[in-house]
Structure 1
Amino acid sequence: MASRVSLKTKGKNSKGSKGTEDRTVAEYMKEWSTWTMRKAKVITHYGFIPLVIIVVFPQID
């Protein structure tokens, strides 16, 4: 299982307190792709057998 990557910084921020961190587009894309893959894994896990039943059994007639 993959380890989780924390995007939070440790220690004091030398630039002052902004309240929100500046994150790059690459970090947003990484977070979005991780979220998407987790959702796809759950959908595939619980939806594969019902999909096979729906697709295969009506064609048996």
Structure 2
Amino acid sequence: MASKAVIVKSKKSGGKGGRGGYEEKTMFESFKDWSTWSLKKAKVIVHYGFIPAVIIIGMNSDPKPSLYQLLSPV
């Protein structure tokens, strides 16, 4: 059974003074747009959440360090 590309209509933003219309996208193009959008959001979340996550995990470790000991380079 061969799979068929389904055409999805999505609203096209009309820019300055232009008329908004509909553009046809295949299912693959819609998935590509969605995955690009979600990966950009995940990149921002990881970028701003990595250091706080390391601090929280470090504070919950077995020999409980103080915040100064955790952040000092020595």
TM-score over 0.5 for the pair: yes
When the two chains are superposed, the root-mean-square deviation of aligned CA atoms in Å is: 1.5
In structure 1, the gaps of 5 or more residues are 1-7, 9-18
Structure 1: 4+ residue segments shifted above 4 A: none
The answer for the alignment partner of 1:44 in structure 2 is: 46
Alpha-carbon distance in structure 2 between the residues aligned to 1:45 and 1:53: 14
Match of 1:33 among 35, 53, 56: 35
Percentage identity across aligned positions? 55
- Identify, as 1 or 2, the structure richer in strand: 2
TM-score (norm 2): 0.54
Q: Which has the higher contact order (CA 8 A, sep 6+)?
A: 2
Number of aligned positions between the proteins: 44
- Identify, as 1 or 2, the structure richer in helix: 1
| Larger CA Rg, structure 1 vs 2 | 2
